A = this chain, B = another copy of it.
Amino acid sequence: MTAEVDPDGHATSPRGFLAGATYAGVKTYGEGKLDVGVLASGLPCTVAATYTKNVLHSASVDINRARLAAGPARAVVVNAGVANSSTGQRGIEDGLRMTALTGQKLGIAPEEVLVCSTGVIGHYLPMDKLERGIAAVEMSPSGGEPFSRAIMTTDTRAKRGSVRFGPYTLGGCCKGSGMIHPDMATMLAFLTTDAPVDQPFLQQALSEAVDRSFNLVSVDGDTSPSDTVLLFANGAAGGETISEGSPLADGFRGALGALCVYLAKEIARDGEGATKLVEFRVTGGATTAEARALVRLLSTSYLLKSAIHGADPNWGRIAAVIGRSGLTVHEPGVTIGICGVRVFERERPTEFDPARLSEAMKGDTIVIEADLGAGGGEATGWGCDLSAEYVSINADYHT
């Protein structure tokens, strides 16, 4: 995964994709104020997708699942401001109407259009505004940039990038000011490539990449009803179809992994109220799943996140999370490190200099290491600190 990500790339960097965005008046906050976007391929695509596991999910998740089970798609329409979740049958009808309007605009079947909505739960979509908005979107080969802004909610900046592998480009954008914020920062990602990729391999590669990137980011541990990652491959750059075992299969996996990790870290760094990116490196798990579980627990601890915000090398809070984790722990082998300094090993504190370590923790990227002493399971994930600003954002916003 050493492929280099171009931070100026976006979802229309790969050949054959067009996108555009406009302000329809759905979103009443946020930078730039774009709130409706359309992304489409001129050519048919293979598509892979991953969705939230939240059972009370939004209408769009049901629509996209059904569409992709029936056949391929080549476009997606997105709105920010209203999540169209917990809205019953009317929500489904509104989502379908968005795809029909977009299909009409692009001259393709509604069945080839997917839909995502992000914003407040439990509100109905303002369909009159969306109808005018979708009609007003101007599609262009540079539209990936405004598209990346139209999907933002509490995000403070667009998160996008592209990466090259062989003769191909992979690009995309995501939004989310937390792993998942149920009403204001649902995580969405839209990825595109001009490589020809067969669908089973595309889905497998996406699932793996998401598991090692977006699924290991947490801002607050809450999971939204709308989380969706879509990957469109249109083959516009020609060549042999890539499948499992193809010469370019590993290159594609590496590129996709690099882009997903880059975007996932961008989400953590832009977590609501965040001032620092935190990387959690867990080793010594009885299994990989146990190592991943500890990453999730560490990255959602109020106390640890608060300590990191205050540049406080309070490793006891890490020990407490390990102890309450329910995971396999071999006490004599447990070690804890902060910013490269070993602070606990062999069941007792080391002689480290707290003032010096606190100084190191004032940087904008903090590395937390924990070894469970129990086996060879490893995982790395990302999160952010917890600031008073987080509380303000989430307490002062009114439904």
Contacts and interface: CB of A to CB of B under 8 A. Distances in A.
A92 to B, nearest CB: 11
Contact of A319 (B90, B122, B329): B122
Given A301-B222, A302-B220, A324-B222, A397 B312 contact: yes
Contact of A395 (B224, B312, B315, B347): B312
A358 interface: yes
A125 to B, nearest CB: 13
A121 B86 contact: no
A349 B307 CA distance: 39
A399 interface: yes
Nearest to A358: B398
B310 A354 contact: no
Interface residues of A, number: 67
A307 B394 contact: yes
Given A56-B329, A321-B222, A323-B225, A316 B182 contact: yes
A24 to B, nearest CB: 21
Contact of A387 (B220, B301, B346, B391): B391
Contacts of A354: 398-399
Nearest to A385: B395
B320 A183 contact: yes
A169 to B, nearest CB: 35
A322 B181 contact: no
A337 to B, nearest CB: 14
A183 B320 CA distance: 8
A302 B387 contact: no
Interface in A263-307: 301-303, 306-307
Nearest to A317: B182
Contacts of A314: 183, 397-399
7 contacts: A56-B319, A56-B320, A121-B317, A182-B316, A220-B302, A303-B394, A316-B399
